[in-house]
Amino acid sequence: MNRHTGNEPGEDFNVREVHGQIWRERDEPSENHKAVPWWLKHVIYAPLAIWAIWYLAYASGGFRFDVQSERFGDWQIDPVELEAIVAAGEAGADDAPDDSRRDVLTRGAAIYSRVCAACHQANGAGVPGAFPPLAESDWVGGNEERLILLTLHGLVGPILVNGEPWDGVMPGQGDSLDDNQIANVLTYIRSTWGNDAPPVDPATVSGLREKYAGHAPWTEETLYEAVGGL
């Protein structure tokens, strides 16, 4: 090897010079991969995490499985549909409570949307084999005391709705809804989907709540014994 050039015998280039050129070359920009700065991650992800937590807390209904958020209740009814429902209900509202029929039906529609619609559906048609219909129902348009009691305490066992057998469980809502709310939602379902029955008075709900306080879920038989049939 030539000690001045670093070449093996027969080589006609300067190894040290070539290596020096390679050493001085810089990597292409694409060859350097740097991690995203930690502060940039916080700027991007922190607001998203805060928004996600806020949305879950705001729209979850208190993380209960059986209700939707009260604050979103009014949005769950299509405004055009609600206007038509309310207008139809106002057509024979001579016996309406002190509040206007529009207010009662609007509040009842919101309560129904967040408490009842998951089972009985937004149109009151129910679910075949699982939840009976409220639309054009003899249970809805019939004895209001029977309807109030099953709403307060729940209903179990076989029943006949419009002559069709059903056998299931309805949870009572007396602990979660007050007298006015129960009157509003029952007035709403008794005024829509082909039902045409008088509104429910909150005083009637209050009286039955007091009379049958702590009652177990009703059956069709015990309801008939308490308040009669249709």
**pLDDT given at position 36:** 66
Averaged pLDDT for residues 47-65:
60
**pLDDT given at position 63:** 46
**pLDDT given at position 20:** 59
Q: Which residue in 174, 177, 170 sits closest to 219, CA to CA? A: 170
**pLDDT given at position 33:** 57
Query: Same domain, yes or no, for 156 and 196?
Result: yes
**pLDDT given at position 83:** 59
**pLDDT given at position 9:** 56
In which domain, by residue range, is 125 found? 68-227
Q: CA-CA distance, 42 to 48, in Å (whole number)?
A: 10
Query: Same domain, yes or no, for 219 and 199?
Result: yes
Q: CA-CA distance, 99 to 101, in Å (whole number)?
A: 6
Query: Same domain, yes or no, for 52 and 96?
Result: no
| pLDDT classification of 153: cutoffs 50, 70, 90 | very high
Total domains in the fold of the chain? 2
Query: Same domain, yes or no, for 92 and 36?
Result: no
Averaged pLDDT for residues 199-215:
94
Selected residue with higher pLDDT from 217 and 105: 217
Averaged pLDDT for residues 178-191:
94
Tokens of 179: 């007298």
Selected residue with higher pLDDT from 230 and 59: 230
Selected residue with higher pLDDT from 10 and 94: 10
**pLDDT given at position 48:** 75
Q: Which residue in 194, 183, 207 sits closest to 105, CA to CA? A: 183
**pLDDT given at position 1:** 53
Tokens of 175: 């602990």
Averaged pLDDT for residues 61-66:
43
Query: Same domain, yes or no, for 29 and 118?
Result: no
Mean pLDDT of the chain: 75
- Quickly tell me which residue has 């694409």 as its tokens: 30
**pLDDT given at position 70:** 38
Query: Same domain, yes or no, for 74 and 48?
Result: no
Query: Same domain, yes or no, for 53 and 106?
Result: no
- Residue 222: CB partners within 8 Å, gap ≥ 6? none
Query: Same domain, yes or no, for 103 and 58?
Result: no
Q: What's the CATH code of the domain at 101?
A: 1.10.760.10
Q: CA-CA distance, 224 to 33, in Å (whole number)?
A: 78
Decide: 169 and 154 in contact? Cβ < 8 Å: yes
- Residue 1: CB partners within 8 Å, gap ≥ 6? 7, 8, 9
From 12, 31, 65, give the residue that closes a domain. 65
92-114: per-residue pLDDT in tens? 444 444 457 778 888 898 899 88
